[in-house]
Structure 1
Amino acid sequence: MIHLYGTTEVRTERDTSPPTATAGENLRLALTYLLPAYLKGAFRGRPRVAALVARLDAARHGVDTMRRMRRRHGRGPVMVRGTSGPTLLVLDADDARQVLTGPVEVYAVDTWEKVTGFAGVQPDALVASHGGQRAVRRAFNDSVLDAGCPVHRLADHFLRVVGEEAAALLGPRAVAGLDADAFRERFERVGRRCFLGEAAADDVEFSRLLGELLAEANWMGARRWRLAHVRRVRRRMMQRQARYLAEADPRSLTGLFAAAPRGPETAPEAQLSHWFMALTSVQAATVQALALLATHPRHHERALAEVGAADRKHGARTVAGFCDMPYVRACVQDAARLWPPVTGLMRRTTAETRWRDAVAPGGVNVLVPAGFHARDGERIEYAHRFAPELWLDGTAEGDWAISPFSRGEAECSGTELALQLATGFVAELLRGGELAVSGVRMGPSGPLPYTFDATRLRVGVRATTRPAEEGDGA
């Protein structure tokens, strides 16, 4: 039996197998896409390696490799040698939609890479689950993170937190230029305050331990001689986390645990690690959006005007104000589209799947290269330019091949919350003054680079004087 969009079909005599990549194509794919993605760090970024990959322009070469494969083999997926076995490389937008709209029972998310990587960090995480176990964990995550809700129930507090942390960056340090570490430190505090509660605000040791685990996860369990050390680190991290769970702050995500649905296999305490890991993607999209706004005057002017109007009408750092900032939110979304936090969405099939007239066996991996589809200039005219307006008119949202936060049943439960935090952070720095950026080459006059290298990036914010408004002064 063959599964397609959740239905069952019978194999016909005309069915064929998907085309198979040649040895040369597999080698080029490994060198330009698979290897760079692995070396950069799937769970925690390796800045020095990322800088080298950016200088080699590996992302552009990877897109070129896939485009050539599509021209040679046609629209359907191509069977390639992936990091964990035979893999269907999805090169067509319609096929990408098939995977992302398909049920997770057929296009399962618990691939070898996720299960192996999370084994040392948090083996009970949602992303490493399947079947009934995944269902109960997904229900818990959806409830706590208010999946699909435009505004999280704790957004009023969260927007104040993210505003305070962003504002703490302003001043002489911001005038000189903020580097990646400055943003990382502030987002780690945002995570600790919003996820664990105010008592965890200064617990940098918790973040350090989690960072060490995520860095080890990049090795996918290959360094077996470190397993005992990893267990000790995880135990220490969980002990620190348990303190905040025991006296849950009602203004934090942990304060929502008691009311969320759960079962024997939910493991609520095990879901936090992935939320903190996802927060690094929020940080990346925020910094990318700031760099884009600093180098695109027209977009910057529109975003600044929107923030000013929302503040005058509702006040800064308010839920109502956030709801009146759709353009700033769209800037964050398009930054994530241009440089997606996860360049490849991995699935594994649990049954035979149909791809037009081709049938692939069950038990193979499926790779939807999100970075390729978002930069496919042969398909979308805005592939290499900053185009936040296309998130406002539904063009980008309606294109399922563009999936910076995945889609369908496997979409990140915290997508809306992530966009709230990032939008609030960007808005606060726009309030702080004039944006400037160095260390990156981009602008409205030419195509944007395929890779965003944050290692040399500096984001400057210089306070500007404003005319006295009615009511100001003595």
Structure 2
Amino acid sequence: MSLLRSAPGDSGRTGSDDTGPGAELPTASAGENLRLTLAYFLPQYLKGVFRLRPRLGSLVARADAGRRGAETLRRLRRRHGRGPVVVRGTSGPTLLVLDPEDVRQVLAGPVDVYAVDTWEKVSGFASVQPDGLVASHGRQRAVRRAFNDAVLDAGCPVHRLADHFLRVAGEEAAALLGPRSVAGLGPDALRERFERVGRRCFLGEAAADDVEFSRLLAELLAEANWLGARRWRAAATRRARRRMMQRQARYLAEADPRSLAGLFTGAPRGPETAPECQVTHWFMALSAVHSASVQALTLLATHPRQYRRAVAEIEAADRAHGARTVAGYMQMPYVRACVQEAARLWPPVPSLMRRTTAETRWRGAVAPGGVNVLVPAGFHARDGERIDYAHRFAPEKWLDGTAEADWAVSPFSRGEAQCSGTELGLQLATGFVAELLRGGELAAAGIRLSPERPLPYAFDTARLRIGIRPTRPVEGT
């Protein structure tokens, strides 16, 4: 770990200074590295980095690995101070960021210095989509980011196609209502409907029933979990990717004007943009939106006060503007906050990885370029030593600005690397959740969440059933 050296002075530092020049970054011991690997890195790898492994994910949740990982990180911070702490990561020396000010330094820093194309992402996406934005750097990343931002309307409160997208999300959610929802909806049923939302909104109506496209993508993401280690699977993976891209090409060739594919021609592009290769990551991100939606529904089903407020907001918005409308969506900030809060409690990407391309300064110490940086986003979002709402369902924190102002709370990342589709994803999730809340009274089975107890670090969604009991009798029940 001798890569680190002391700073001769403190001019030009981007981090705060409470140690003074000449300080050195603390280094984890061999025992601490072993505990970190077993309690933090291994459970995240087992449950799946790119796609959830259902059985192992259930095992990790039941073993309460999230709590043990958080306790390990807290012990490191108590022993070593604000850090960052130099640990052994999966691909070499890694700066483990345990202080919220340092989180902001990383996420607010330029991606030219805190690069996103880490070994893990490049290795995983090599089998799925090697020309995707998240595996890019430099000029390639700049042109691909410009394309993504333009098509996804990054930073805009609502997407230009939001009228249609909200109708799609509402229609797909409404299709779940009826005897099936009274009996209880499992995670697979909700996932399948969300995949239809994605195919219709991203590729157009012609792709609505193309479950084979989604199956091939799931196969590729499952292989990506192995980070390229299963080389004997390379030929089969290439064939699966080729078939997926051939299916996608049909929809891009005759682009539906009401889909994201229909916006490609008006978006900026260059020789390295590879627009057809950006779509894969949008579908991957949609799985995170699906997870946040399911978690938000589970929280609302088990938290009566928040449930009543969300339903009242939806009813008021529908009376004023009609269901599935942009104006109605804009009058549902609380429902949107419920989705954001679910993503805070169980972030879709619990660890944000970067690699440095130049020297970085951390108070009085200097780290050279070429080291990894790990921001344990899930840990910071549930840091009970720092935030008083860490383990409870508190959507109001997104309404009063508390969560938004806290850079350590970053379920969709922040700064230059924030997901271009954050706003779009929240629109789809809010529309989907709102439609199911219109369907009747929620109930959750197979899981124990309560406003009277701290919320767990994870729960086993394989056992989850979300019931929706309509206010009127449903034929066939």
Matched with 2:3 is: none
Matched with 1:268 is: 275
SS, match of residue 22 in structure 2: coil
Matched with 1:188 is: 195
Which one of 429, 452, 456 corresponds to residue 449 of structure 1?
Answer: 456
Contact 1:107-1:349 at 8 Å conserved across structures: yes
Amino acid paired to 1:227: A
Distance 2:14 2:106 in 1: 13
Gap change, CA 1:3 and 1:116, over 3 Å in 2: farther
Structure 1 position 175 matched with structure 2 position 182: yes
Gap change, CA 1:295 and 1:81, over 3 Å in 2: same
Matched with 1:471 is: none
Deviations 1:68-116 (A, max 9, x none): 1000000121000111111000000000000000000000000000000
Distance 2:22 2:242 in 1: 52
Contact 1:329-1:423 at 8 Å conserved across structures: yes
Amino acid paired to 1:146: D
Task: State the Cα RMSD in Å.
Answer: 1.8
Matched with 1:203 is: 210
Distance 2:394 2:33 in 1: 33
Unaligned runs of 5+ in 2: 1-6
Which one of 385, 399, 410 corresponds to residue 392 of structure 2?
Answer: 385
SS, match of residue 435 in structure 1: strand
Which one of 388, 408, 413 corresponds to residue 406 of structure 1?
Answer: 413
Equivalent residues in 2 for 1:35-50, closer than 5 Å: 35-50=42-57
**Cα displacement (A) at 1:465:** 3.8
Matched with 1:57 is: 64
Deviations 1:180-212 (A, max 9, x none): 100110011001000000000000010111110
Distance 1:413 1:205 in 2: 26
Which one of 279, 287, 290 corresponds to residue 283 of structure 1?
Answer: 290
Distance 1:81 1:391 in 2: 35
Contact 2:124-2:228 at 8 Å conserved across structures: yes
TM-score normalised by length of structure 1: 0.96
Deviations 1:226-282 (A, max 9, x none): 111111111110000000000000000000000000000000000000000000000
Contact 2:357-2:370 at 8 Å conserved across structures: yes
Contact 2:157-2:423 at 8 Å conserved across structures: yes
Distance 1:431 1:5 in 2: 54
Matched with 1:352 is: 359
Equivalent residues in 2 for 1:60-79, closer than 5 Å: 60-79=67-86
Gap change, CA 1:356 and 1:162, over 3 Å in 2: same
Amino acid paired to 1:414: G
Amino acid paired to 2:452: S
Contact 1:18-1:77 at 8 Å conserved across structures: yes
Decide which moves more: 98-107 or 24-33.
Answer: 24-33
Contact 1:200-1:244 at 8 Å conserved across structures: yes
Matched with 1:113 is: 120
**Cα displacement (A) at 1:458:** 0.5
Structure 1 position 253 matched with structure 2 position 281: no
Amino acid paired to 1:361: P
**Cα displacement (A) at 1:439:** 1.3
Identity %: 79
Which one of 72, 96, 104 corresponds to residue 103 of structure 2?
Answer: 96
Deviations 1:168-190 (A, max 9, x none): 00011101110110011001100
Structure 1 position 154 matched with structure 2 position 169: no
Matched with 1:417 is: 424
Structure 1 residue ranges (4+ consecutive) displaced by more than 6 angstroms after TM superposition: 1-8
**Cα displacement (A) at 1:453:** 2.0
Gap change, CA 1:161 and 1:13, over 3 Å in 2: closer
Amino acid paired to 1:422: A
Matched with 1:145 is: 152
Deviations 1:284-336 (A, max 9, x none): 00000000000000000000000000000000000000000000000000000
Distance 1:124 1:7 in 2: 31
Distance 2:10 2:162 in 1: 40
Distance 1:433 1:5 in 2: 57
**Cα displacement (A) at 1:4:** 9.6
Which one of 239, 246, 259 corresponds to residue 239 of structure 1?
Answer: 246
Amino acid paired to 2:192: E
Contact 2:20-2:364 at 8 Å conserved across structures: no
Contact 1:5-1:103 at 8 Å conserved across structures: no
Distance 1:26 1:283 in 2: 34
Which one of 339, 359, 369 corresponds to residue 332 of structure 1?
Answer: 339
Matched with 2:4 is: none
Give aligned pairs, total: 464
Equivalent residues in 2 for 1:358-397, closer than 5 Å: 358-397=365-404
Distance 2:144 2:257 in 1: 21
Gap change, CA 1:255 and 1:290, over 3 Å in 2: same
Amino acid paired to 1:331: C
SS, match of residue 460 in structure 2: coil
SS, match of residue 81 in structure 1: strand
Matched with 2:139 is: 132
Contact 2:84-2:99 at 8 Å conserved across structures: yes
Structure 1 position 83 matched with structure 2 position 90: yes
**Cα displacement (A) at 1:362:** 1.1
Distance 1:93 1:4 in 2: 21
Amino acid paired to 2:263: L
Amino acid paired to 2:220: L
**Cα displacement (A) at 1:16:** 3.5
Contact 1:166-1:429 at 8 Å conserved across structures: yes
Contact 2:14-2:361 at 8 Å conserved across structures: no
Unaligned runs of 5+ in 1: 467-474
**Cα displacement (A) at 1:446:** 1.0
**Cα displacement (A) at 1:13:** 10
Distance 2:446 2:347 in 1: 20
Gap change, CA 1:5 and 1:221, over 3 Å in 2: farther
Distance 1:426 1:79 in 2: 42
Deviations 1:327-383 (A, max 9, x none): 000000000000000000000000111111121121010000000001100000000
SS, match of residue 52 in structure 2: coil
Distance 1:313 1:219 in 2: 50
Contact 1:3-1:106 at 8 Å conserved across structures: no
**Cα displacement (A) at 1:17:** 3.0
TM-score normalised by length of structure 2: 0.95
Distance 2:365 2:44 in 1: 29
Distance 1:453 1:113 in 2: 26
SS, match of residue 281 in structure 2: helix
SS, match of residue 347 in structure 1: strand
Gap change, CA 1:4 and 1:242, over 3 Å in 2: farther
